[in-house]
Amino acid sequence: MAFLRSISRPDVTPMVLGNGVYLRNPQLGDYEAWAELRERSRTFLTPWEPIWAPDDLTRTAYRRRLRRYQREIREDHAYPFFIFHEEDHVLLGGCTLSGVQRGVQQSCMLGYWAGECHAGRGYVTSAVRALIPFVFEELKLHRLQAACLPENERSRAVLRKCGFTEEGIARGYLRINGAWRDHAVFAILRDDPRK
């Protein structure tokens, strides 16, 4: 798997290349495409995400988001990515590696989303497959965990296709769309076979 570094900065992660997609850090120039994709996909994403702040899609909130992302990368806490189509560079969605734990745990959490018009086309699966080597080879972690609502069959299918093992149900795990919801927990380890 290729990781391309265009600049040597502690708050920028390498570009990650996948099958038909590439992932890179969100940038200020992505604002319009991001805000438009999120707004068009609001109804589609609402059942699976925390409640959006009233100003979530504003340029000011986006700038705050970018500053937080840069700090989290510098501090080795999280690694946010946008997913782009390889051929036309259209923004498709996003992936975030968060909750990075070092020491005896060596793990992080994976979250992802796709715009409604891009969902179900394999883009997120390609992005997740590309991030797995990044987690284990670049970040040198041992465990990558993901969680989704039990009824989110698309999300479960992504994780299964990428070699994750379902480990059980975490009760009241995340506050989604205003309610504490149980989540199906999946994980893949550095030594697990790749799909």
Q: What is the pLDDT of residues 40-51, one digit of tens each?
A: 999 999 999 999
Q: What is the pLDDT of residue 52?
A: 94
- Where does the pLDDT of residue 6 fall: very low under 50, low under 70, confident under 90, or very high at 90 and above? very low
The rounded distance, in Å, linking the Cα atoms of 51 and 176 is: 7
- Percentage above 70 pLDDT, the chain: 93
Counting every residue, how long is the chain? 195
Cα–Cα–Cα angle for 117, 119, 122, nearest 5°?
130
Candidate from 14-18, 93-97, 100-104, 186-190 with smallest mean pLDDT: 14-18
Q: Structurally, what CATH architecture does the domain formed by 3-189 represent?
A: 3-Layer(aba) Sandwich (3.40)
Phi, psi at residue 132, to the nearest 5°? -60, -50
Domain boundary assignment for the chain:
3-189
- Where does the pLDDT of residue 97 fall: very low under 50, low under 70, confident under 90, or very high at 90 and above? very high
**Which of 168, 187, 186, 184 shows the shortest CA–CA distance to 176?**
184
- Percentage above 90 pLDDT, the chain: 91
Judged by phi (left if over 0) then psi (alpha if -120 to 50, else beta), residue 168 lies in left
The rounded distance, in Å, linking the Cα atoms of 105 and 46 is: 32
Q: What is the pLDDT of residue 4?
A: 53
Which pTM value belongs to this model? 0.92
CA distances from 174 to 63, 96, 115, 177 (A): 25, 16, 21, 10
What is the rounded average pLDDT for all residues in the chain?
Answer: 93
Q: What is the pLDDT of residues 53-62, one digit of tens each?
A: 999 999 999 9
Q: What is the pLDDT of residue 7?
A: 45
Mean pLDDT, range 130-141, rounded to an integer: 96
**Which of 127, 99, 105 shows the shortest CA–CA distance to 189?**
105
Phi, psi at residue 91, to the nearest 5°? -70, 125
- Classify residue 135 by its DSSP letter: I
Q: What is the pLDDT of residues 142-173, one digit of tens each?
A: 999 999 999 999 999 999 999 999 999 999 99
